[in-house]
Every structure is written in C-alpha cells, then in structure tokens.
Amino acid sequence: MRHLLTVADLGVEEIEGLFDLTDKLKREVEDGIKHPILAGKTLGMIFQKSSTRTRVSFETGTFQLGGHALFLSSNDIQLGRGETVSDTAKTLSRYVDGIMIRTYDHSDVEELAEAGSIPVINGLTDLLHPCQILADLYTIQEKKGNLKGKKLTYIGDGNNIANSLLLGTTKVGMDITICTPAGYEPDSEIIKEAKTQAEMSGSQVEILDDPVVAVEGADAIYTDTWASMGDEAEKAERLKAFEGFQVTTELMNKAKDDVIFLHCLPAYRGQEMTAEVIDGPQSVVFDEAENRMHIQKAIMVKLMEENSQNMQESNEYKQNIS
C-alpha cells in the first residue's frame, strides 16, 4: 500500500487489515490510551475544496497519533497560483511525510502520487472519495457484523460517492444497487470496473431508476446531497430532476426491518432525505462521521509509518553497499 487514490487499488486483505487496525486505534481512543505512532511526522493537507469533516478528522487524527497536520488552502500555496502539480509534489516531498489532497480533478491526485516520493491520500476528487467509502464500509461492518452478502442501496446523484461505493462494495463482496434519475448515473467506466470486481467477489451490481424497487432487501440505504460542491449552478434543475428520490420513512420501511441509513454529510433535510430519517433510530450517520477519523488514522499509519520503514531499509542498504 503505497498511496490511497482509489479503493479499487486495495486488496480484500488490505481492507480487512485496515479495519482491524481501525478497531484497535478506535478502542485506544475510547480507553484514553495514547500511542504516538506518527511522532515527528507531518501530514500536508491540500484543500482546493473546503470541508468540515475532512479537515477536522485528519487534523485531529494526526494529533492523536503524535504527528502534526499542516493545513494548506489553495490561497496558501503556489499550486493555486500556477505552480505545476509535479513541482508541488517534489517540493512537499522534501518537507512533509505524507500528503492528503481534497480537490476537483482526479488527475491532480494521480500526478501528485507519480511525481512525489511520499504517500498521497485522496481526500476527495470529483470522481472518487475513497476515505469516505472505507469509513462507510467499516461502519456497516460495525453494525451488521460482516459485509459479504449484504446489500447496500444508494439513492441520488451518481457522483463521487456513488462511484466509490460501486468500487468498495464489490471489492468486499457486497451487493449494490445504484438508483438515480436518467442522466445522473455514475461514471460508465467505473460501472464496468465494479461489475468486473463483482464477478470476482460473487456480488451483484444494479443500476435502477425506481427507488421502491431499489430498496427491496436492502441492509443499508445511503444518500448524498443532490447538488455537490461545484454543481451549485444546477441546483434548481437538480431539485426538479430528483423529485421522487427523497429517502423517507415510507421508503425505509420497504427495505429490511433492521435496515440502517447512511449519509456522508453535509445533509439537507427536506431534500435528499427527511429529518425523520436522518434523525431517527435507523440512522448511523454520526457514527459514520466519527469513523472517518478512525479509518483515516489507520490509513496514515499504514502509509506514513510503512513508508518511513521502507526509507530506513533503503538507507541501511545504501550504507551496507557503500
């Protein structure tokens, strides 16, 4: 595990390993145990898109591990003023031990990883949101005991969340149904990739446009805002297009009796779901939000600690042959 750019890059054993480490780190927080695993290490956090949960969860998580998180908005660094992604990656590689970036173009994340010499974590792009989906899967496992054979239904916009859910669920053997209005489906190439993964894991992928049919047999129902950051100009058009796709108590009742509700936040009560659903007993939304921090701590430990060990082994090798 060199970087985290997409869930598709992870093997099932790597995901299980991340979840096991997340369990351990989460218990230590609850028990007040402090292990400064990342003492002396710095995470550079590039934000070209603002966020409540991404910033606070990464910053607090890094602190809990004994490290330091450095907030870098597009106004603070030259990347926002014309410096190339490659030059930024090479420069930051001399200063910090890892980079988390939340941006628009997925190609920027890929270029950072290719040009730099330190781990890169995709904190969100318009295409994918792997940290969120790992937190989602971890939360479902917490609540349901296991993932394989469970069904997740996503209702709403075929955005980066839908794309990453397709890749994440089929990787671990979950069935997934994506339900969107016509014209708002997930990325077609990602649908193909998810179906290929599903064949390997024994899961199923459905793309539907009827919410009532979509939630049949669902163990978890997931939704997201209908107008993501960058789609604000289309808000009125989207509100009209998504009429009938709101997650209501009536819709939840058509799934399994023990169905849970997820949302990556921020949520807009009265739009993609009712207040009764997100604030009700089936909602695990705030457990899900908390788990962002715990899973990201595990990701940072796996990437930044292992990268440090690899560099140390490389330096020892160079000393031995000099």
At residue 322, does pLDDT exceed 80?
Answer: no
CA distance 12 to 127: 22
Tell me whether residue 3 is one of the annotated catalytic residues: no
Q: Check the annotation: does 130 bind a ligand.
A: yes
Q: Which helix (H) or strand (E) covers residue 221, if one does?
A: strand 220-223
Q: Which of 106, 136, 224, 246 is catalytic?
A: 224
Neighbouring CB atoms inside 10 A of 98's CB total 28
The annotation status of 45 as a binding-site residue, yes or no, is: no
**Alpha-carbon span 299 to 204, nearest angstrom:** 27
Tell me the pLDDT tens digit for each residue of 112-149: 999 999 999 999 999 999 999 999 999 999 999 999 99
Strand partners, 99: 44, 120
Looking at 264, 282, 294, 296, which residue is catalytic?
264
Q: Tell whether the model's pLDDT for residue 75 goes beyond 90.
A: no
User: So what CATH class is 133-286?
Assistant: alpha beta
C-alpha 154/C-alpha 162 separation (Å) is 7
Q: Spot the catalytic one: 55, 106, 292, 294.
A: 292
- Active site includes 106? no
291 annotated binding-site participant: no
Residue 169 has pLDDT above 60, yes or no: yes
Task: Round to whole Å and give the CA distance between 292 and 33.
Answer: 19
**Cβ(212)–Cβ(251) below 8 Å:** yes
Across all residues in the chain, what is the average pLDDT? Answer: 93
Top CATH class, 3-129+289-316: alpha beta
Pick the catalytic residue from 48, 64, 132, 296. Answer: 132
pLDDT at residue 81 is higher than 90: no
pLDDT of residue 306: 65
- Model confidence at 232, pLDDT cuts 50, 70, 90, reads confident
Q: In Å, what is the CA distance from 290 to each residue of 28, 224, 305? A: 14, 17, 23
Token pair listed for 116 = 């730099």
Tell me if 8 sits within 8 A of 193, measured CB to CB.
yes
Would the pLDDT of 158 be above 90? yes
Residue 224 tokens, joined: 């997201």
The residue from 102, 106, 238, 263 that is catalytic is: 102
Phi, psi angle pair for 46, to nearest 5°: -95, 120
- In this structure, what are the phi and psi dihedrals at residue 99, rounded to the nearest 5 degrees? -125, 130
* 207, 178 contact by CB (below 8 A): yes
Confidence of residue 309 (pLDDT cuts 50, 70, 90): low
> Where in the chain do CATH 3.40.50.1370 domains reside?
3-129+289-316, 133-286
User: Has 179 been annotated as catalytic?
Assistant: no
Known catalytic residue: 129?
yes
187 is catalytic: no
188 marked ligand binding residue? no
Mean pLDDT of 282-286: 98
Q: Would the annotation count 179 as a binding residue? A: no
Instruction: Provide mean pLDDT across the span 61-65.
Output: 97
Q: Is 224 a catalytic residue?
A: yes
Closest CA to 212 of 204, 221, 203: 221
Give pTM, 2 decimals.
0.93
pLDDT of residue 318 exceeding 50: no
pLDDT digits (tens, 9 = 90+) for 92-114: 999 999 999 999 999 999 999 99
The response to whether 160 counts as a known ligand-binding position is yes
